Chain A
Amino acid sequence: MGARAEPWQTAEIPGPKKAMIITNPQIVTALIRRSKNPVLIVGSMAPEIKLSSGDLVDYAIQIAESVGIPIVSSPSILKVFLDRGFKRVFGIPVVDIANRLIDVNWTGLEGKGQYDLAMFMGFKYYVCWLILSGLKHYSRNLKTISLEMYYQPHALWSFPNISKEEWEKNLNAIIKSLREGK
């Protein structure tokens, strides 16, 4: 991938525990398949991030549909999901969802219990960085994956800093592999 495992924003140096790099999209697929109760969390930037076959909201919907999981969206883009016919979406502020993900007794959005895997995409870099930091330090039994284009050191797994083209290729590969596994 020709990638660097450095924070995208140069000064956002975390600490000793840093995200493992997703060198192969199959890693993501395997983590999702192994998870009992995953959730995809999508930030407010998603509609503005344009890829060759749609924006990031379209990709989020494809991932969620191919696994059959709910999406938590930033409230300000909830309407975008609904307008595209995706109904299993919950508009929840990112600080609120993060605050619930660290609570072992939380029963989840659909009453199925606490999530064991949370994936993130579509956030401002520093917003995702800080939210993942909170989860790294305070969640129990939660794995986190950053599906952002840039390295998020506080996730458990993250892409390194990659080009838009490489990112899109990886997202497409994840979607394809999840669909094949259905």
Chain B
Amino acid sequence: MVSEKNIRVKIDELKSSIGLLKGFELSIGKIVSEEWLEEVGPTQFPKIPDLREWDLKLLQRYKPFYMPFCDLCCLCTFGKCDLTGDKRGACGINMSAQQSRIVLLACCIGAATHAGHARHLIEHLIEKYGRDHPIDVGGGNVEIEAPITRLVCGIRPRTLGDLEEVLSYLEREIVRLLAATHTGQEASNIDFESKVFHAGMIDHVALEIADIAQISALGYPKADPEAPLVELGLGVVDSTKPVIMVVGHNVPPAAAIVDHLIENNLYGGVEVVGLCCTAHDVTRYNPKAKIVGPISWQLRFIRSGVADVVVVDEQCVRTDTIIEAQKVKAPVIATSDVNCIGLPDRTRDSVEKIVEDLVLNGQPGALILDPEKAAEVAVKTALLIAPKRMKFKALPDVSDIIEGAKKCRKCDDCRRACPNDLPVRDALAETLEGNLNALADLYEACVGCGRCESACPVDLPLHSFIVKAAEKRIKEEKYKLRVGRGAIQDVEIRKVGSPIVLGEIPGVVAFVGCANYPNGGTEVAEMAAEFAKRRYIVVASGCAAMSIGMYKDEEGKTPYEAFPGAFDAGGIVNVGSCVSNSHIAGAAIKIASIFAKRRLRANYEEIADYILNRVGAVGVAWGAMSQKAAAIASGFWRLGVPVIVGPHGLKYRRMLLGRKDKPEDWYVYDARTGEKVYVGPAPEHLFYAAETKEEAMVMIAKLCMRPNDTTRGRAIKLSNYIDLHKRFFGTMPDDIHLFVRTLADVPLTMREEVIKILEEKGWKENIIPDPTLLPRLVRKKAGE
């Protein structure tokens, strides 16, 4: 057997004069005793072309619809080239190829970011805990510890050291994918799209190995449905104490801060608060840490002056952090080589000297690439500087707002710069009448980008005005979030596998991604609560998981208090940070593997085919913003899981849309007979942007339908789809006839009105096949 990295000799069984040798594997530098007897599937460590055929099947059904975000290509010195309509650039590229090329670039950035994060994290953990530290994400409750890695790489990682081989594979593939975007390389938009899927799959492996490494080494909750509740919101921070703010995605510095505080009996006296995914992971490490909120809260929290020290690691960190922190006299400690923010490298300097420079000599910050040293500096600096800073704020007084309103030129440049077209000028004008409510109301929909200020010709601190006006609401931001639990237990999969595949649990809905919402985060919480009430399994991660927590029902309970944390009908499951998205994909894979007993090892195409046709899962990235989110979505597409984004998601510049009006697109093979059978548009789209929350909710219910649904399951799914359609759109759906295969599919309580529509549409009964898109899975060929 030739492995990914080294030459290996594998002997399944050898009889010789000295005895019997079984399951022996030798590779350069190590000896592996392989206990995983499952046969290696057809696509171990797949390269770009290996799953191309599967991608083309998906892309034949879900064709790209491009909405160019720029009509030009400016990537080489031939350009700028105008690609409008059917024009071609100097290199010969057309608009479709250019758009898909940009999508691939975005996904390469996303995959490289996660793989780089994984490399950084795993090397750190190996250094600290050793190469032989075991992978353990759930003890006896989780036997398939790395479903994506097993599926893609065909290996079963047992220790942190085993993950290095996976990292090498990821890095090689990302380099190949990135190479394809060079001028004069790939020419076909469809091949670019296939490479986008490949980047997504690579990204998912990176997510998984990063998270299983940190779960195993850092003592995070291990697949625990009852992981503790932690405090969430700007209002939960005790500003009477020294406060250390951690922001980003790579937890070692934040974890080291917690360790340092505990070791020195200081934890009760210092607040550790996080934003973005480092916040998730530091609470997984120690639930006494607190979460301020999603990425959008960075600017407002720094300006509040509450943080005495700002510690940044990597990803989604505001690039003006140092400027903002300077305004409130808070030193910044950078801890990652991918985010040095122009600070001097003080890694080799003594802690005392660095602290002195930050506290007494007014230096704005330091780059410290040793997490433990960064932690010690952060704690000592916070303790010494807090009394000096006296929570110095950059927020204005009300009188400043009114004075600002008088200076306003009414040019509307603030509104024209706002991603959500918020009427900043009008709200500011109302303050002249003494009314701050209009300004405070903008807070809910403000994504905290600060572009309004950047655009203002008289330099009004408009974002700060909004935050000040909403001060009372901000103090009331006190919520609970269930700590990211990580993996889904095998026993949970066994319990829900059948009802999901048969359709009796109407779907798994994953709310993931960033906080670039069109109308604030409440919409995400409302969607999550609605689907949990409807007995879907709701899963959450990243900033979306925080937004779900920042909401209270009539009884004053957050969704994490109102719904259980089990992966079961009616649960709301926070898996954790961005990298924990791997457990959502992993759960879908484990349904195929554990429940259906499909071969997992390096058997990607078959498992993806199973998920596409049988597992009613949908991802919702309502505020997706980043290239990482693009890569994560791409991984789900290749796996057969549709993704819905909010309206800003259109800016990813292409959708993958099915055409329900083209019956020829919706045939599958019946694996029992080899017959081609019409199954209706299930799922209708692979990547879809909804204009409104209501549109998204109806589409979620629709996209959960799968060809394999039993009649009972389809009736439950149809019942939800019809009910939501009637509630939000006021009518029966006009495509019900496409989803009813036999009369037994029709929900009993809606029988009369559905049958009337079926008659009007000339509906005919269809069989329910054993669905597959892969001819090789047909057990008996047609005509045999």
Determine whether the beta carbon of A83 is less than 8 Å from that of B692: no
CB of B657 within 8 A of CB of A95, answer yes
User: Which of A14, A79, A125, A134 is packed against the most chain B CB atoms within 10 Å?
Assistant: A134
The distance in angstroms between the C-alpha atoms of A83 and B65, with both chains bound, is 33
Complex Cα gap A91–B733 (Å): 9
Q: How far is the CA of A137 from the CA of B99 in the complex (A)?
A: 11
Asked whether A24 is an interface residue with its Cβ less than 8 Å from the other chain, the reply is: no
Q: Contacts of B692 on A, CB cut-off 8 Å?
A: 44, 74, 76
Knowing A17-B84, A96-B657, A125-B421 touch, does A134 contact B67 (C-beta < 8 A)?
yes
- Cβ of A8 within 8 Å of any chain B Cβ, yes or no, is yes
| A10, B454: Cα distance in complex, Å | 12
Query: Chain A contact residues (Cβ within 8 angstroms of B): what range?
Result: 35 or more
Decide if A95 touches B65 in the complex (CB within 8 Å).
yes
Whether the pair A138, B691 counts as a contact (CB closer than 8 A) is no
B622 within 8 Å of A by Cβ? no
- We find that the number of chain B residues with CB closer than 8 angstroms to chain A is 41
Contact indicator B657/A10 (Cβ below 8 Å): no
Whole-angstrom distance from the CB of B86 to the nearest CB of chain A? 9
B655 at the interface (CB under 8 A from A): yes
Q: Write out, one digit per residue, whether chain B residues 42-73 have a CB within 8 A of any chain A CB (1) or not (0).
A: 00000000000000000000000111111110
Whether B569 sits at the interface, judged by CB under 8 Å, is: no
CB contacts (< 8 Å) of B694 on chain A: these are 75-76
B6 within 8 A of partner (CB):
no
Which residues of chain A are within 8 angstroms of B417 by Cβ–Cβ distance? 9-11
Whether the Cβ atoms of B72 and A15 lie closer than 8 Å is yes
Are B416 and A126 in contact, with the CB atoms below 8 A? no
Question: In whole Å, how far is B84's beta carbon from the nearest beta carbon of chain A?
Answer: 5
Q: Are B66 and A134 in contact (CB under 8 A)?
A: yes
Do the beta carbons of B65 and A93 come within 8 Å of each other? no
Nearest opposing residue in chain A for B418, CB measure: A9
Contacts of B259 in A (CB 8 A): none
Whether A78 lies near B85 (C-beta < 8 A) is no
The reply to whether the CB of B651 lies closer than 8 angstroms to some CB of chain A is yes
| Docked-complex contact A78 and B68, CB < 8 angstroms | no
Within 131-152 of A, Cβ neighbours of B (below 8 Å) are at: 131, 133-134, 136-138
- Nearest opposing residue in chain B for A132, CB measure: B67
Q: A76-B729, A91-B731 are in contact. Are A130 and B69 (CB under 8 A)?
A: yes
Residues of B within 8 A of A95 (CB): 65, 650, 655, 657, 688-689
Instruction: With both chains docked as a complex, state the minimum distance between the C-beta of B661 and any C-beta of chain A, in angstroms.
Output: 8
Is B594 interfacial (CB-CB < 8 Å)? no
Chain A residues with Cβ under 8 A from B68's Cβ? 133-134, 137
Among B69, B455, B728, the residue within 8 A (CB) of A76 is: B728
Q: Which of A13, A98, A124 contacts B65 (CB 8 A)?
A: A98
The answer to whether the Cβ of B675 comes within 8 Å of any Cβ in the partner chain is no
Closest CB of chain A to B551's CB: distance in Å?
21
Q: Are the CB atoms of B691 and A124 closer together than 8 Å?
A: yes
Contact (Cβ within 8 A) A14 B689: no
Whether B729 and A79, one on each chain, are in contact in the complex, defined by CB atoms closer than 8 angstroms, is: yes
| Any B CB within 8 A of the CB of A51 | no
Beta-carbon contact of A137 and B657 below 8 Å: no
Q: Which of A9, A78, A82, A133 contacts B67 (CB 8 A)?
A: A133
Central interface residue in A9, A125, A130, by most chain B CB within 10 Å: A130
Residue A70 lies at the interface, judged by CB distance under 8 Å to chain B? no
Contact B66 A137 (CB under 8 A): yes
- Asked whether B691 lies within 8 Å of A74 as measured between CB atoms, the reply is yes
Q: Which residues of A contact B729 (CB under 8 A)?
A: 75-76, 78-79, 91
Nearest CB of chain A from residue B548's CB, rounded to whole Å: 22
Contact between B416 and A8, CB atoms less than 8 A apart: yes
A172 at the interface (CB under 8 A from B): no
Chain B residue at minimal CB-CB distance from A17: B84
Are B84's CB and A136's CB within 8 A? Answer: yes
Q: Distance (Å) between the CB of A69 and the closest chain B CB? A: 19
Asked if B770 CB lies within 8 Å of chain A CBs, one says: no
| B526 located at the interface, meaning its Cβ lies under 8 Å from any Cβ of chain A in the complex | no
Query: A134: nearest residue on chain B (CB-CB)?
Result: B67
**In the assembly, what is the distance between CA of A75 and CA of B725, in Å?**
9
A99 and B69 alpha carbons, distance in the complex (Å): 16
CA distance A74 to B698 in the complex (A): 12
Chain B CB within 8 A of A94 CB: yes
In the bound complex, how far is the Cα of B690 from the Cα of A9, in angstroms? 21
Digit string of B679-694 for contact with A (CB within 8 Å is 1, else 0)?
Answer: 0000000001111101
Closest to B655 in A: A95
Contact A127 B650 (CB under 8 A): yes
A102 at the interface (CB under 8 A from B): yes
Q: Is B539 engaged at the interface, CB distance under 8 Å to the other chain?
A: no
Specify which of B67, B413, B421, B455 is in contact with A124 (CB 8 Å cutoff): B421
Are A10 and B416 touching (Cβ within 8 A)?
yes
Chain B nearest CB from A8 CB (Å) reads 6
With A16-B84, A99-B65 in contact, do A10 and B655 touch (Cβ < 8 Å)? no
Instruction: Give the distance in Å from the alpha carbon of A125 to the alpha carbon of B455 in the complex.
Output: 18
Cβ of A43 < 8 Å from any Cβ of B? yes
Closest CB-CB distance, B648 to chain A, in whole Å? 7
17 pairs of residues in contact across A and B, judged by CB atoms under 8 Å: A10-B455, A15-B71, A16-B72, A17-B85, A44-B691, A44-B692, A78-B730, A78-B731, A93-B688, A95-B657, A96-B657, A99-B659, A126-B648, A127-B691, A130-B69, A136-B84, A138-B66
Listed from nearest, the 3 A-B pairs whose CB atoms lie closest are: A15-B71, A79-B730, A134-B67
Task: Give the A-binding residues of B (Cβ under 8 A).
Answer: 65-72, 82, 84-85, 95, 413, 416-417, 419, 421, 455, 518, 647-648, 650-651, 653, 655, 657, 659, 661, 688-692, 694-695, 698-699, 728-731
Mark A residues whose CB is within 8 Å of B: 8-11, 13-17, 43-44, 74-76, 78-79, 82-83, 91, 93-96, 98-100, 102, 106, 123-127, 130-131, 133-134, 136-138
> Given A126-B419, A137-B66, 6 more contacts at CB 8 Å?
A15-B82, A17-B71, A75-B698, A91-B729, A93-B699, A137-B71
